[in-house]
Chain A
Amino acid sequence: MKDVFDIIVIGSGPAGLSTSLAANDLGLKVLVIDEQSQVGGQIYKSIGKNLDGKKNFLGKDYLKGQHLYERFISSGIEHWLETSVWQITENQEVCFKRNGLTGIIKSKFIVICGGAYERAMPITGWTLPGVMSVGAAQTLLKSSSVGADDCVFVGSGPLLYLTVYQYLKAGFKVKAVLDTSRLKQIIYSIPYFFPALINFNLLWQGLRWIRYISKHTKVHGRVKNISILGKEKVQGIEITLSNGGNLKIDTKNIFLHQGIVPNINLTMATGIKHHWSQFQYCWLPTLSLSGETSIKGIYVAGDNGGIGGVNTSITTGQIAALDIGKKLNKTTNFAKLFVYLKFLKDKSLRPFLDVLFKQDVNFLVPDNKNEIVCRCENVNKSEIENSIKLGISGPNQLKSYCRAGMGNCQGRLCGLTVQTMIALKQNRKLDEVGYYRLRPPVKPITLKELSSFEEYSPDEKQ
């Protein structure tokens, strides 16, 4: 198969946009593929629609995306929206689906910028209608200014506070914020605080959010024993407060968050090597300094390669593009050096945030034995525990015992929970327990689509 492009960039969030812009500047022929109907990814969701300045509540950081967006649009880089990638073959062909048509296309290099998704928080009642992830709530806000009054935010992590801040700024009433972070993490994070000070502006911004939030809503720290109340739908939430007292709050909308993890479904299904990060409590693709994976010619940039936030997403994208440019003799290593320095500065904030908001395994495993863990196949905690007791060797054997992880989402929701449960029950290390073996299609495709894909040729309009 012929190389139609120099680089195919998968995903058009900050990493995808910056990779493609940097590559375009070097004169490389770039194609950007994104599932959504607009570029911007999750963090700059609907950025193209929100340029009128009416949505100040989204904050300055969001509006920074405007610059990237405008540069991208005026660059004329070829981009296919509403296009999803369902497989990268062993010959590094990209299989895609676009407007109901499927095709297969090849390029010299691939940069995967698939971003991140939220960890599940399978606490009691988490599947009741009225419960949503914080990320989903933020998406609604960004894309259609939709929100819910008198809601309750539960969990931990920077995205939680950012979203509460945006919610309040947009004029919605937030009944309470229930923070699940542990006091000890504040202490453990102190050594990482000093290097993080290089990014003083971001730390200050975080403090400002928290001050604003505590002025406008009630924040309860170090809450425990959370259970969501309701039969058919959410009616309220009950918690134990840090002082030992119990609190019940009536609400119809609860937003949960336990941090974000790289979206590894495509990278794993492609056969790229991954390793376990105890620090970020997730699997990461194993990358070179320039972002190249264990498969030569395939790169990962942005949060897909490890959670770093928007600034590091931009710099890792540039580094990947420059590295590829060097291999195609379009630039020197010298250019990369400057971006590396910027990358080191941006990255120095992350260990502090990782430790401060470290995943608490208590929120990954439900308290209640009847609580659903795998939503696709409706498998609850005790069914999984019973299978583990039979002496399964890992998540893959567990799949065939109780069907957990066999559904549509390919373990995005239950993967880390199942892995953690096996490690805890069998007293094994998380990296040794391993993860689901992920397989194409990464996104479901119909029989018709799979039976009709053709090699893409630029002459025919697809």
Chain B
Amino acid sequence: MKSNKLYFDFLIIGGGIQGCSAGFFLSKRKQKVALIEKDVIGRHASGANAGGVRTLGRDASEIPLSIVSMDWWNEIETLLSIKNSFFKSRYIKVARNNDDVSKAQNRILDLNKKGFTHEKWIGKSELKHLLPKISNHCIGGISVEGDGWAYPWKIVRGLASKSLSQGLQIFEKTFAKTFVKEKDYWEVSTTAGKFYAQNILNCSGAWGGELAKILGEQELPIKSYAPMLAITDPQPKFLNSVIGILNAPLSLKQIDTGQLIIGGGIKGKASTENNETKINPYGLKNTIQNAISVFPHIDNVRIIRSWSGIEGYFPDDLPVIGPGSKEGVVHAFGFSAHGFQLGLAVGEALADMSMKMQTKIKLDAFSIRRFK
């Protein structure tokens, strides 16, 4: 393998959902494309996240992309020929006090003014109707019909294997060491030999900042953390919707096995050098308190395991998506723990950008130059 010389039009660095999705769209368009991944497909934040598929609660600048992505999600199982991987229901962010209510209603008005009508207010009686077990102090919420959840690893692996069948070449356990720009192509030295490609797609998540620097960008204010999750014993079915809380961290869902998955972005420590994450019980404690405050009846359910991936966060909690300063480079990383749902639209946008086509959605808000 060592002396292989490999020529591609597009070389994707990173086998998370963004990279696999870009690989899916480029290979679907019959491009000569390869993906290299230093560990295995979906090893970090893309495989180990809560699997929330939501348009709800997003920053206004992300909503158009998120809505385009949702169209892809609605077809995902057919597109990838997989089953039982995406579960469409609704997402509800619960209001627990009057402050939550006024903030939520202001948000909906504001979104309506911008032309977004997917987030709807639901009052106490409807909330109680949708979630009979919910605590009485919850007085309403924002809901989006059609949001849901997915098995992260099934989706990421589904994208990878469909792409393989479309001609994408995947190189796992392959680490890119150096990038040298020649006239119209990049020479990339990796642990599995040299790759040559006209276009580089930086989809390396928490490692994206380092790679961006190697590819000629400025120092970026990206930080790595380990968003923590916990899973319980199976429970009788009581929850169809995915639940969040307004103005507090929580994501709670009941998956098809009956188990509850509790997350919500509480960060543990992560090391990008040795792939290690640390579970911080103080952080989990806070999330679990929030879960019990919404559904008091689950307080005696047992947690059997916790886990976390490694994710890159920017200070404004928005990703970098867009062309780099050097010719033939595009970036998509630092999704700050809410990139899973966006992944499908981002993959399409990456394919568009690197093929020098107009993207469906304007991506100026995510420019890498916003930190200058």
Residues of A bordering B, CB below 8 Å: 87, 89-90, 95, 104, 271, 393, 397, 400, 406-408, 410, 437, 439-441, 444-448, 450-453
Q: Assess whether B47 is interfacial by the CB under 8 Å rule.
A: yes
Which residues of A sit under 8 angstroms from B292, Cβ to Cβ?
A: 447-448, 451
- Contact between B298 and A447 (Cβ–Cβ < 8 Å)? yes
- Contact between A408 and B233 (Cβ–Cβ < 8 Å)? yes
- Contact between B288 and A447 (Cβ–Cβ < 8 Å)? yes
| Shortest CB distance A95–B (Å) | 6
| Shortest CB distance B283–A (Å) | 11
Which residues of B sit under 8 angstroms from A400, Cβ to Cβ?
A: 47, 153
Q: Assess whether B62 is interfacial by the CB under 8 Å rule.
A: no
- Cα of A71 to Cα of B128 in the assembled complex, Å: 60
Which of the candidate stretches B215-223, B300-308, B352-360 sits at the interface with the other chain? B300-308
- Cα of A95 to Cα of B279 in the assembled complex, Å: 12
28 pairs, A vs B, C-beta closer than 8 Å: A87-B279, A87-B281, A89-B278, A89-B280, A90-B280, A104-B281, A393-B40, A393-B173, A400-B47, A400-B153, A407-B304, A437-B307, A439-B279, A439-B307, A441-B304, A444-B233, A445-B303, A446-B300, A446-B303, A447-B291, A447-B299, A447-B300, A447-B302, A450-B230, A450-B303, A451-B285, A451-B292, A453-B281
Q: Assess whether B178 is interfacial by the CB under 8 Å rule.
A: no
Q: Within the complex, which residue of B40, B262, B299 is in contact with A448, where a contact is CB–CB below 8 Å?
A: B299
15 extra interface residue pairs, beta carbon distance < 8 Å, beyond A89-B278, A397-B40, A450-B303: A90-B278, A90-B280, A410-B305, A439-B305, A441-B303, A441-B305, A444-B302, A447-B292, A447-B302, A448-B292, A448-B299, A448-B300, A450-B288, A451-B288, A453-B281
Which residues of A sit under 8 angstroms from B153, Cβ to Cβ?
A: 400
Q: Which residues from 17 to 57 on chain B have a C-beta closer than 8 Å to any C-beta of chain A?
A: 40, 47
Which residues of A sit under 8 angstroms from B47, Cβ to Cβ?
A: 400
Which residues of B sit under 8 angstroms from A393, Cβ to Cβ?
A: 40, 172-173
Q: Within the complex, which residue of B262, B281, B298, B301 is in contact with A440, where a contact is CB–CB below 8 Å?
A: B281
Which residues of A sit under 8 angstroms from B269, Cβ to Cβ?
A: 90
- Cα of A233 to Cα of B363 in the assembled complex, Å: 64
* Residue on B nearest A87 in the bound complex, by CB: B281
* Residue on B nearest A376 in the bound complex, by CB: B304
- Cα of A121 to Cα of B201 in the assembled complex, Å: 49
Which residues of B sit under 8 angstroms from A450, Cβ to Cβ?
A: 230, 281, 284-285, 288, 303
| Shortest CB distance B33–A (Å) | 21
- Cα of A452 to Cα of B300 in the assembled complex, Å: 12
| Shortest CB distance B223–A (Å) | 18
Residues of B bordering A, CB below 8 Å: 40, 47, 153, 172-173, 230, 232-233, 262, 269, 276, 278-281, 284-285, 288-289, 291-292, 298-307
Provide the main secondary structure of the chain A interface: loop
- Cα of A452 to Cα of B289 in the assembled complex, Å: 8
Provide the main secondary structure of the chain B interface: mixed
- Cα of A206 to Cα of B343 in the assembled complex, Å: 64
* Residue on B nearest A392 in the bound complex, by CB: B40
Which residues of B sit under 8 angstroms from A446, Cβ to Cβ?
A: 299-303
- Cα of A446 to Cα of B299 in the assembled complex, Å: 7
- Cα of A87 to Cα of B47 in the assembled complex, Å: 24
- Cα of A407 to Cα of B279 in the assembled complex, Å: 19
- Cα of A439 to Cα of B21 in the assembled complex, Å: 29
- Contact between A444 and B304 (Cβ–Cβ < 8 Å)? yes
Which residues of B sit under 8 angstroms from A95, Cβ to Cβ?
A: 281
Which residues of A sit under 8 angstroms from B288, Cβ to Cβ?
A: 447, 450-451
- Cα of A384 to Cα of B166 in the assembled complex, Å: 27
| Shortest CB distance B348–A (Å) | 26
| Shortest CB distance A86–B (Å) | 9
Which residues of B sit under 8 angstroms from A453, Cβ to Cβ?
A: 281, 285
With A87-B281, A90-B269, A271-B278 already in contact, the answer to whether A451 and B289 are too (CB < 8 A) is yes
- Cα of A415 to Cα of B58 in the assembled complex, Å: 41
* Residue on B nearest A95 in the bound complex, by CB: B281
- Cα of A446 to Cα of B233 in the assembled complex, Å: 10
- Cα of A440 to Cα of B153 in the assembled complex, Å: 21
Which residues of A sit under 8 angstroms from B278, Cβ to Cβ?
A: 89-90, 271
- Contact between A441 and B233 (Cβ–Cβ < 8 Å)? no
| Shortest CB distance A445–B (Å) | 6
Which residues of A sit under 8 angstroms from B40, Cβ to Cβ?
A: 393, 397
- Cα of A453 to Cα of B283 in the assembled complex, Å: 12
Which residues of A sit under 8 angstroms from B233, Cβ to Cβ?
A: 408, 444
- Cα of A181 to Cα of B305 in the assembled complex, Å: 37
| Shortest CB distance A300–B (Å) | 20
- Cα of A89 to Cα of B232 in the assembled complex, Å: 20
| Shortest CB distance B149–A (Å) | 15
- Contact between A445 and B306 (Cβ–Cβ < 8 Å)? no
Q: Within the complex, which residue of A397, A407, A447, A452 is in contact with B303, where a contact is CB–CB below 8 Å?
A: A447
- Cα of A271 to Cα of B292 in the assembled complex, Å: 29
Which residues of B sit under 8 angstroms from A447, Cβ to Cβ?
A: 232, 262, 288, 291-292, 298-303
* Residue on A nearest B302 in the bound complex, by CB: A444
- Contact between A408 and B304 (Cβ–Cβ < 8 Å)? yes
- Cα of A437 to Cα of B310 in the assembled complex, Å: 15
Which residues of B sit under 8 angstroms from A406, Cβ to Cβ?
A: 305
| Shortest CB distance A102–B (Å) | 9
Q: Within the complex, which residue of B173, B276, B304, B305 is in contact with A271, where a contact is CB–CB below 8 Å?
A: B276
| Shortest CB distance A455–B (Å) | 10
